[in-house]
Amino acid sequence: MKTVNIVSFSSNLVSTIISLIIGVILFTRPDLVTIMISYVLGGILIAYGLVKLFYFFYQKGKIPETPYNSCISGTALIIIGLVCIFLSGVIEHIVRFIIGGFILFSGINRLIKAGDLKNQNEHKFISVIIVSIILIVGGLYVIFVSNLVFSSLGLVLIIYSVLEIINYILLAGNNNEKVYSRPEDKNLKTIELKEKKTAKKKTNKKD
């Protein structure tokens, strides 16, 4: 059981360190992360598009009446992949507008629904208004500030990883204390002491 705990603790520590490294990269170089994601996504789309085109021409050689669906979708995927690679900055703008738009829409939706609470519960109405304003401001901020999404995600990962490492150190210390404070270990120590005492007595008698 002790070995299993040590292995699980070590694997958790490795994954936490990896999360910390990813968080630092996201926080310090969000532009680089955006380019990498765009290149990877573009490469996958191009590869998938080429597979579709290859499959189309392979089928076309066997069956001349093969529909052009695979050819059209494969060509479209290759074009989208090339756009992702050569216009990597567009991906960051798209992600920013999608997430910011969602937050903005949620805030406006809450603000509209807050009108129904005005006459029912004044305290709840005020809290909903405050949350709605925060969401609207946050949504606009995400839309207009570049690389904020990846930077925020990196900051969250850094905080989470640091807390996990601290937790790991504390748990490791507690486990060491538990290992040396078990009753069976104490019994073993007392037996060892008794054996040492008896061995000393025997040597003294011989002398």
**Domains: count for the chain:** 1
pLDDT digits (tens, 9 = 90+) for 94-134: 877 888 888 888 888 888 877 776 666 667 777 878 888 88
Q: CB under 8 Å to 117, separation ≥6 — which residues?
A: 124, 125, 128
Three-state secondary structure call for residue 65: coil
Q: Is residue 100 part of a domain?
A: yes
Do residues 81 and 88 touch, judged by C-beta distance below 8 A? no
Is residue 195 assigned to a domain? no
Q: Is residue 202 part of a domain?
A: no
With respect to residue 204, please indicate whether it lies within any of the assigned structural domains.
Answer: no
Report pLDDT digits (tens) over 172-205. Answer: 666 555 544 455 554 555 556 566 666 665 555 5
Predicted confidence (pLDDT) per residue in 12-51, tens digit: 778 888 888 888 888 888 878 878 888 898 999 999 999 9
Instruction: Establish if 174 belongs to a structural domain.
Output: yes
Name residues whose C-beta falls within 8 Å of residue 133's C-beta, 6 or more positions apart in sequence: 107, 111
Question: Could you tell me how many residues make up the chain?
Answer: 207
The two three-digit tokens of residue 195, written as one number:
């054996």
Give the structural domain span for 124: 2-183
Cβ atoms of residues 81 and 131 within 8 Å: no
pTM summary value: 0.54
